[in-house]
């Protein structure tokens, strides 16, 4: 909690620039997510909510590219310091099987995104796919937060504060389940044609 207060105290006075800095750093090495600045700044200036979401997304994706660069240039030892050996094997397996989906889920949910940006570089995920997954997931997350704050103000902030992690996980699971059902449906249709 002290680190969150410190982040607000140090970066909030700089407004958009402070939001940009926190968003960039969080994607590669900083432990505090940019939501702690995005939400109060959007409350202060709701008419600028979409702009703030764009600033957050842009900086987050640029920070993710920095994390990717760290990973590609020898980030495995760093990754080994961030996660246990067992977790590292799990993360590597996720990248081998799901690639962009792993980045997308981490970018939208409360899972530490920096671990996945560095891992994407370590495991040499296609950079273009990495950027598309990052833009989509981070843009959706921050855009959704900004729009909700713009529409509902303080009411939604209480909800986001208490249930954001659960809500993003539920939404992610719903999207993945929908994709899985669509994939099964397409596969069954392809089988019928044969």
The b/e string for 83-110 (b: 16+ C-beta within 10 A; e otherwise) is beeeebeebeebbeeebbbbbbbbbbbe
Q: Are 28 and 118 in contact (CB under 8 A)?
A: yes
Domains of the chain, by residue range, sit at: 2-193
Question: What is the pLDDT, as a whole number, of residue 191?
Answer: 67
Residue 116 burial (10 A CB sphere; 0-12, 13-18, 19+): buried
Query: Within a 10 A sphere around the Cβ of 49, how many other Cβ atoms?
Result: 23
Q: How many residues does the chain have?
A: 194
Mean pLDDT, 10 residues at a time, over the chain (194 residues)? 81 94 93 90 94 98 96 84 81 80 82 87 92 94 92 83 68 66 71 65
Residue 181 burial (10 A CB sphere; 0-12, 13-18, 19+): exposed
Question: What is the secondary structure of 75-86 as a DSSP string?
Answer: -HHHHHHHS-HH
Quote the pTM value.
Answer: 0.80
Question: What is the pLDDT, as a whole number, of residue 194?
Answer: 60
């Amino acid at each position: 909690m002290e680190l969150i207060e410190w982040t607000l105290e140090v970066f909030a006075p700089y407004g958009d620039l402070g939001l940009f800095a926190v968003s960039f750093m969080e994607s590669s090495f900083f432990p505090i997510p940019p939501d702690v600045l995005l939400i109060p700044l959007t409350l202060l200036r709701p008419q600028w909510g979409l702009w703030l979401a764009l600033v957050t997304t842009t900086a987050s994706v640029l920070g993710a590219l920095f994390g990717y660069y760290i990973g590609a240039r020898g980030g495995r030892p760093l990754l080994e310091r961030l996660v246990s050996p067992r977790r590292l094997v799990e993360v590597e397996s996720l990248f081998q099987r799901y690639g962009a989906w792993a980045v997308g889920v981490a970018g939208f949910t409360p899972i530490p995104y920096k671990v996945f940006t560095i891992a994407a570089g370590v495991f040499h995920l296609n950079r273009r796919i990495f950027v598309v997954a990052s833009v989509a997931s981070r843009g959706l997350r921050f855009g959704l937060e900004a729009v909700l704050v713009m529409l509902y103000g303080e009411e939604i902030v209480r909800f986001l504060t208490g249930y954001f992690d659960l809500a993003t996980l539920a939404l992610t699971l719903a999207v993945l389940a929908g994709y899985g059902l669509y994939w099964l449906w397409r596969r069954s249709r392809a089988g019928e044609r044969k």
